[in-house]
Amino acid sequence: MTAKRLRVFALLAISTIFLLAWAFPIIWSVLNSLKTDSDVLAYPPKLVFTPTLEAYRDVLFGSGSILPNLLSSVIISVGTTIVTMLMAVPAAYALARLRFRGKRFAGFYVLATQMLPPVGIIIPYFLVLRNIGWIDTYQGIILIYLSFSLPFAIWLLVSYFEDIPFEMEEAAYLDGASRLKTLWRIIIPQVRGGIAVTIVFVFLNAWNEFLFAVVLSGNTVRPVTVAMFNFVSVEQTLWAKLAAVSVLAMLPVVVLGVVAQKHIVKGLTVGAVKGGGRR
């Protein structure tokens, strides 16, 4: 049985290394955010130190506070999520449950829009927004975010809609309920879980987006992922503050990610497993 014990030990060692490798950069940022600059810069790196919330106090309430940027991120992400869901739920329902001419083409179109490289979209979009004065506005950013959030949300939702049995809406429909009423009263409650997962994904993607945000943001609308750069300059890096800002930018997505972990895996794999299984 020694061979087996050796195997178990090797397994344990490998898995520990991988878990550490994945978690370490995040843990290290959290630790650094609780240090003073001199502790961050200490060599060899300090694992034991007196924790302080000074960096957080400075980046939140000091001069050049990132509170407005956090607020921008929240407005953009929540706004994108609301607009996306309002459009994606009806569209996904139609694609999954209704019969109409051109349905295959419609589905293909949604899929194809996902393949456009973002840099190709942002160049013309920038020119148009500049002309109508929408650079540095919420509506400008939220609108362009639909380019990636809508196709994704529609496809994810279609996979959830397809799972509901047809009998339910059939019964409601034959009972004389209108199409819209059937959708609202019978179908939507059935896919509540799928809608929640989609909301999480759309929010995460909007919170994390960077390229569009960099091009379109200005002094009024500047999400935290872009504002983070203020803490790194050629002359000096504000180490502890940078760590604190990174942690604040990570916080919402990490919390959402861990809470919705099981569903996220399902959402991620829906395309992969389904797409593969179909052929």
Partner 1 sequence: MATTAVTSAEIASEAPRSDFGRVLAQRERRFAAALLAPAFLALLATTTFPLLFLIYTSAFRMDLAMPFTNGFVGFENYRTLLADERFWTSLLVSLVYTGSTVALQVIVGLALALLVMDMKRGQGWFRVIAILPVVLSPAVVGMIWRTFMLAPEFGIVDYLAINAGLGSKNWLGDPTLAMVSVIAIHTWQWTPFAFMVLLASLASLPEDIYEAARLDRASAWQRFRRITLPLLRPAIVMVIIMRTMVALTAFAAIFTVTAGGPGTATEILNLYAYRKSFTELSIGYGSALAVALLIVTIIISGILFAMRRAK
Residues 158-217 that bind partner 1 (CB under 8 A): 162-163, 165-167, 170, 173-174, 179-180, 204, 207-208, 210-211, 214-215
Residues 6+ apart with CB under 8 A from 116: 147
**Least Å from the CB of residue 194 to partner 1:** 14
110 binds partner 1 (CB under 8 A): yes
Residues 6+ apart with CB under 8 A from 141: 76, 212, 213, 216, 217, 221
* Closer of 50 and 277 to partner 1 (Cβ): 277
Q: Is 66 exposed, middle or buried (0-12, 13-18, 19+ CB in 10 A)?
A: buried
Residue 141 CA, distance from chain mean position: 15
228 binds partner 1 (CB under 8 A): yes
**Least Å from the CB of residue 79 to partner 1:** 14
- Residue 52 CA: distances (Å) to CA of 173, 193, 245: 62, 40, 15
Binding test (CB under 8 A) with partner 1, winner from 115, 218, 219, 235: 115
Binding test (CB under 8 A) with partner 1, winner from 60, 75, 121, 135: 121
Number of residues that bind partner 1 (CB under 8 A): 106
Binding test (CB under 8 A) with partner 1, winner from 123, 185, 192, 220: 123
**Least Å from the CB of residue 50 to partner 1:** 19
Do residues 81 and 199 lie in contact, with contact meaning Cβ atoms separated by under 8 Å? yes
Binding test (CB under 8 A) with partner 1, winner from 70, 154, 202, 244: 154
**Amino acid letter, residue 54:** E
176: left (phi over 0), alpha (psi -120 to 50) or beta: left
| Subset of residues 240 to 269 that bind partner 1, contact rule: CB under 8 A | 242-243, 246, 249-250, 253-254, 256-258, 261-262, 264-266, 268-269
| Subset of residues 1 to 60 that bind partner 1, contact rule: CB under 8 A | 11, 14-15, 18-19, 21-26, 28-29, 32, 41, 43-45
* Closer of 88 and 156 to partner 1 (Cβ): 88
From 48-56, 62-70, 120-128, 191-199, give the range in contact with partner 1 by CB under 8 A: 120-128
* Closer of 57 and 229 to partner 1 (Cβ): 229
Binding test (CB under 8 A) with partner 1, winner from 60, 87, 186, 199: 87
Contacts of residues 40-49 at CB distance under 8 Å and 24 or more positions apart, as own/partner, are: 40/239, 40/240, 40/243, 41/239
| Backbone φ and ψ of 137, nearest 5° | -125, 155
236: left (phi over 0), alpha (psi -120 to 50) or beta: beta
3 state SS of 111: helix
